[in-house]
Each structure stands twice: as structure tokens, then as C-alpha cells.
Amino acid sequence: MKTTNRRSFLKASTAIGVAVTGLTPAEAHAGPRNILAPGRMGVLVDTTVCIGCRNCEWACKTAHGLETPPLETYEDKTPFDRMRRPDDTALTVVNRYPNAGNPELPYSVKVQCMHCDHPACVSACIVGAISKEENGAVIWDTDKCIGCRYCMVACPFQIPAFEYHKALNPRIMKCDFCAERRKAGQLPACVETCPVEALTYGPREELVRVARERVRRLPDRYVSHVFGEFEVGGTDWLYLAGTDFANLQFPKLAERPAPGVSESIQHGIFAYFVPPVSLYALLGAMMWTARHRGDDDEEK
Amino acid sequence: MDHFMRPVPMAKKFITPGVIVLLVLAVNGLVFLAGRFLFGIGSVTHLNNQYPWGIWIGVDVAAGVALAAGGFTTAALGHVMHREEYHAVVRPALLTAMLGYTMVAVAVSIDIGRYYYIWHPLIMWNGSSALFEVGICVMIYMTVLYIEFLPVVTERFMGRVALPGALARLNAPIEWLLGLMDRTLSRTMFLFIIAGVVLSTLHQSSLGTLMVIAGPKMHPLWQTPILPLLFLLSAVSVGFPMVIFESLLAARSFGLKPEMRILGKLGGMMPAILGVYLAFKIGDMFVRETFVYLMHVNTASVLFMTEIILGVVIPLRMFLSPHVLKSPPLLFTAATLVVGGVLMNRVDNFVVAYTPPYSFGSYFPSIGEISVTVGFISILVLLYRAAVIIFPVISLPDRTLSPKSKYSVRG
């Protein structure tokens, strides 16, 4: 190391600088598809209409090739005794909450992926295995996923589920907004099967308008809050309710997109590789001067 | 300076009663690990859809990376700032970092569901993911650490290659190769040393960014946009204490005289470093007014206070005392407190602070998770012991060198 002179040091440092900056354009485009299309579709869930028949749970499992007992067994209401969450065996579940105004008519709330407009999972995924599609769906790619479960850490709604009991190729399981069915011109399975039209499928913009209109026309029936209109920067699945959303175990979330701060920090640290390259140059300069000073001392 | 130090292989036996205990713990961990590979992660861990990350990430990965920070802090001090008097601690710290990061890489691969896709981030990029950056930086840094360690290998074997029997013909080519490696490395090593420091700065801080995206799911005492800065500062603070901790342990284990002159000086720098970390930690608490959460006595507030008082304030005060800097047991205590404090901080950030919105009960690691973690740490200690017996890592005073003679410690 003693033989290092200024020229060879500068040459090598420049070479590294060039090599690193050469990567920049690729880096800038690297990442999953994350499209926020103006015409993206969504679903409006009216929890005051839902009767808790759980047919959507059956339709979802059938459409996604998951194991399910026959439809008749879903008449059983005992699952409502405890709060359930979507998992690797059920991508959507319906929970029931008491209605203080009318004990005979409890609120039923269908739960699934909200298909955020600025999904934290898409931002977080280490390999870009999750993407936001033009049609609104947030979908997962089995060919990329490494099973790190960072999407589960990131999701503000705690939706992605993992197949913990599979030793090989465990999957991340979550509602895919029936991406395949919709491509074939079909409705999402849950929407198609709902007997009371508690689920309305349509362009998100349109749904927001419809939801606001319902709240305006029936102020006694609804609380004045369309859940998902602004939460975490907007979600494509929207909810109407007859009681405060906190009573239905919806998380209280800010309007800032979920990945917000994290992405700013990340892009700040890596702004076109300027900070790391500058640090490299600074340390190089420090090392060179320190070494040089050392040589002077030894000569004395 | 009254004597010079020179790294030499330790002339000791590998097997001791302590080593046997570690071997048993290692095998126990591997048995549970086999369960994970045969029946899936769920069969040995208490992880679930609400708590996707447990101690395999919190301890093995997050704390592992932090506690290996001695590698880059001593490299910065010894090589970048060119303070030769500290060269004696650079190699042990480098070895710890190299083994530590190897353990981190192994721990990550067993925690991810599809370990055989661990290479995916190399070709599938997501620039907005903090985890992607941590992954790439750790992979590159690990390579850099191995390169930084190569001179130790060449030093050990150069001029001593003597393969038996038919292989003897290979002696000359291997010697030539080692010589070539030695010459090339000594000319280019500065590039790797600086790269190591830069890469460490990047991923130590990005490890903090990881949990920022969890937003309101993380307890406000820990969730802050300056998490990356706090992670970097705490990693820097744990670097020297980790060196002191290991050096005193190794001295005891191998029956050497503790190198108090160097360790005391390292300890003397600690108050300033810990002070900066403490200032940011407390400052952040006041800016975000999170001290209100300390009014209630619960797991979070107790752990937060313990982490700060036991892990930062008390050792800071101890390092200020000249008496502590001269006494091996006291210096060891202070260093251990910092190491414990940072370990706790990582577990707090990744496990304790994480409170999912729909938990059906809190997470506590299973016997299997604890066994695997303890097993990994045991293997790490065993590998360290083997490495210092085989390679010239730990420095001993060498009286054959006069103070005037020049030599440079590589690596």
C-alpha cells in the first residue's frame, strides 16, 4: 500500500466512479410495474347492505382453486363468533360487528386486499415481485418472490399471508382482484356472486362519486366517510358504513401514501449515487492525506 | 511506544470444555434447522401472518449486522485515518465482521421462504425498496470483507506451501499465485477498504429505513423518520465496544495479557460517540413528543428506558472515568453494556415495537427459533476460535522488532 501514489489512486477512484455512475440509468428504471391508470377499476363495499351470507368467501375460494366445503355449509354462522383475517386458505373473509342502533341487524364486513393506489408492498418488495396493474389490481408474481415477507411488514392493512407450512415454494397469498377473470371479461368472483349487490364494481372515480351520493342522500344510514377515498393515498376498494370505521376494526390511517417517507429516504440516500460516491471520494482524500502526513512524520 | 505488535496464529488446542458446550448448542440448533427445511418455517417458529418477522431477523440479521460494525469502524480508524497504533485490533475486528456477515447471510437464507432464490435481488431490482439496498450492500460488503481477509491467508501460507506426495508438483504454481495475489492486493487494498466503509455506512443506515415503511404498525417510541441515522450512529457506537468485548474475551480464553493500552484508548473515544447517538435519540424523542409514552409502565416503555439507560447512559459515564479505562473488568462491563444495548435496540425495533393491527396474541420466539439463533452464535464463536488458531489474527508483542523498523500490517 505504501507504493500508492496520487496518480494511481486518482485513476482507480475515477474508474470506480465511472463504473458506478454507469449503473445509474438502469437503477433509475429498476423496479416493478407501478401504474396509476386514470380508468383503474375498484369495488365499493356497502357494509350496510351486506347480509353476511359469506357466498363471496366460497366464490373466491372456488375461483382461486382453494379447497372449500360446499356452498350450503356457509350458512353456518358460527365463524362470526370470532374475528377472522384473510390467510393462505381464504383470500377474503366476512366478519360481523354489533349494531348499537339495531341489535337485530349486525354489520357484516368483507375483508380482502384494498388494492392501494400507492401500495406499500409494491414499494417494499425486494425483487419487485408485487406490481400495481393498469386495471387497479395489486398482484404477486411467483417467479420472482423469495419469500422474505417484507410485504407483510409493510402492508398497513396486514393483508398478505404466507404459507408457513410449506417447505418448498411457499406462496404469498392475497386477493388478486381476480386479475385473470377480469382479463377474460368476467367480473371478480365475489362481486358476481353477491346476492344483495353489496359489492359494486366499476371505475374508481365513478365509485367515489356513487359513494358520496349515497352518503348525501341517506345521511342517517351512513357515517360521512368513504373509507379508502383518501386513506394511505387512496385505495381502489372503498367502504361505506353505518358506524364509525373504528368500530368495524378498520385501522386509522393517515392520507399520506404508505411508502411515502421510506421512499424519500431511500431515494435521498441514493440520489443518482451522488451521496455514496461523494463519501467514497471524501474518505479517499482523507486516507491519502493521513498517509501522506504519516510519511512526513517518519522522515523527520 | 514500548513494543511492537505482530499478529501470530494462537498456539492453543481447539477443544476445551467450553468448546464442547458450544458444539452441543450448535448441533441442537442444526436439528431444529432441519425441521424448518423439512416442514416449513411455520413448524419451528412462532411466526404468523400478523408477525412475519421474529428473532431470526431481529437478532441474527439486524443485530448481527450491527455487532459486526467493528469491522468498518476500526478500518476507518486504522486505515482511512491511518492511525497505526490501532492496527493490532483491525484484524480481529475484520475476522468478526467477516464471520458475522457470513452468519447474517446464512440467517437470511433460512428465514426467507424460498432460500434457493436468494440470488434473485442480483438481477431483479427494486430501487425503492430499502430491503433491496440492504441485500445488495450486504452481498457486496461480504465479498469486500473476504478480499480484505485474503492478505492474512497469503501471509499464513506464503513460502510455506508444501503439499505431500504427488501434489508436491503444485507447490511452485501455488506459491507463484499467492505471491501474485499478495502483490496485487497490497497495491489495491485501499480501494476495498474505502469501499467497505462506504458500503457499511449505506446498509447500516438502510437497515433502519426497513421499518419506516411499517408506519403506524410500529410503536411511536421507535418509529421515526430518522431511524436510518439512529441505526448508523448506534452501529458506529457499538463498533469499538465490540472490539473491546472480544479482545478481552479472547485474552482470557487464550491466557494473554489484555492489550489495555489500545483498548483503553478506544474506550476513551466512546463518550463522544455515544454522546452523539444519545443526543439524537433524546432529541428525536422531544421533537416528536413521544416521551408521553414513557408515562405508562408497560413493556415498550420499560424496554425503551432500559435500552437508553443501561445501554447508553451508564456506559457513557463509565467510559468517562480514567479508572474504568485502565481496569479490564470495568472496561469489559462498559463495553458489554453497549453491546447489549444495541442488541436490545435492534430487537426492540424489529420485534418489540412491531404491533400489527389485528394481532391475536403477541409474538414470543419458539424454542426452535431460540435454538437456531443460539446455534448460529455458537458456530460463529467456534469458527472464530478456529480462525485465530490457524491464521495470524491476534497480535502479540514482538520484541525482535526495534521501534525504528518499519512494517505495515495488511488487512
Q: Name the band, by pLDDT with cuts 50, 70 and 90, for residue A60.
A: very high
Domain ranges in chain B are: 4-356
How far apart, in Å, are the Cα atoms of B350 and each of A55, A169, A285, B235, B261? 38, 25, 37, 15, 37
Q: Is A225 in contact with A241 (CB distance < 8 Å)?
A: yes
DSSP single-letter state for residue A227: B
pLDDT digits (tens, 9 = 90+) for A191-208: 999 999 999 999 999 999
Interval A124-140 mean pLDDT: 95
At B210 the three-state DSSP class reads helix
Degrees, nearest 5: CA angle A139-A140-A142:
150
Q: SS in 3 state form for B238-296?
A: HHHHHHHHHHHHHHHHHCCCCCHHHHHHHHHHHHHHHHHHHHHHHHHHHHCCHHHHHCC
For the purposes of burial, counting CB atoms within 10 Å of the CB of B297, is it exposed (0-12), middle (13-18) or buried (19 or more)?
exposed
Q: Name the band, by pLDDT with cuts 50, 70 and 90, for residue A267.
A: confident
Q: What's residue A11's pLDDT?
A: 54
Q: What's residue B385's pLDDT?
A: 94
Cβ contact B40–A87 (<8 Å): no
Q: Answer whether residue B410 shows pLDDT above 50.
A: no
Residue type (1 letter), B97: A
- Smallest Cβ–Cβ distance between B202 and the set A8, A144, A269 belongs to A269
Q: What's residue B38's pLDDT?
A: 95
Cβ contact A149–B225 (<8 Å): no
* Rg of chain A in Å (alpha carbons): 26
Distance of alpha carbon B212 from alpha carbon B227, whole angstroms:
7
Distance of alpha carbon B334 from alpha carbon B273, whole angstroms:
14
Q: Is A170 in contact with B41 (CB distance < 8 Å)?
A: yes
Q: Which of residues 223-252 of A touch B (CB under 8 A)?
A: 249, 251-252
At A199 the three-state DSSP class reads strand
Q: What's residue B159's pLDDT?
A: 81
**CA dihedral over B101, B102, B106, B107, signed as positive or negative:** negative
Distance of alpha carbon B75 from alpha carbon B192, whole angstroms:
10
Least confident of A20-34, A167-181, B350-364: A20-34
Domain B4-356 part of CATH 3.30.1330.40: no
Domain ranges in chain A are: 6-30+270-299, 41-258
Distance of alpha carbon B305 from alpha carbon B281, whole angstroms:
11
Q: Name the band, by pLDDT with cuts 50, 70 and 90, for residue B171.
A: confident
Percent with pLDDT over 70 in chain B: 96
Higher model confidence: residue A105 or residue A22? A105
Distance of alpha carbon B4 from alpha carbon B22, whole angstroms:
34
Q: Chain B partners of A145 at a C-beta cutoff of 8 Å? A: 113-114, 117
Cα A192 → chain centroid: 24
Q: What's residue A7's pLDDT?
A: 53
Q: Is B138 in contact with B131 (CB distance < 8 Å)?
A: no
Interval B238-265 mean pLDDT: 92
- Which of B250, B221, B261, B225 lies closest to B349 in space, CA to CA? B221
Q: Answer whether residue B290 shows pLDDT above 50.
A: yes
Q: Answer whether residue A68 shows pLDDT above 90.
A: yes
Interval A256-282 mean pLDDT: 82
Distance of alpha carbon B11 from alpha carbon B6, whole angstroms:
14
Query: For the range B322-327, what are the long-range contacts, defined as Cβ-Cβ under 8 Å and sequence gap of 24 or more?
Result: B324/B267, B325/B264, B325/B267, B325/B268, B326/B260, B326/B264
Set of cell numbers at residue A139 = 398482484
Give the distance from residue A149's alpha carbon to the nearest chain B alpha carbon, in angstroms. Answer: 6
Q: What's residue B168's pLDDT?
A: 83
CB atoms within 10 A of CB B275: 15
pLDDT digits (tens, 9 = 90+) for B33-78: 999 999 999 999 999 999 999 999 999 999 999 999 999 999 999 8
Least confident of B340-349, B359-368, B393-402: B393-402
Q: What's residue A100's pLDDT?
A: 87
CB atoms within 10 A of CB B294: 16
Higher model confidence: residue A210 or residue B86? A210
Give the distance from residue A173's alpha carbon to the nearest chain B alpha carbon, in angstroms. Answer: 10
A15 touches chain B (CB under 8 A): no
- Arithmetic mean of pLDDT over chain B: 91
- Smallest Cβ–Cβ distance between A266 and the set B45, B130, B354 belongs to B130
Q: What's residue B405's pLDDT?
A: 42
Least confident of A14-28, B88-102, B126-140: A14-28
- Arithmetic mean of pLDDT over chain A: 87
Q: Answer whether residue A5 shows pLDDT above 80.
A: no
* Architecture per CATH, A41-258: 2-Layer Sandwich (3.30)
- For residue B36, the surrounding DSSP H or E stretch is helix B17-39
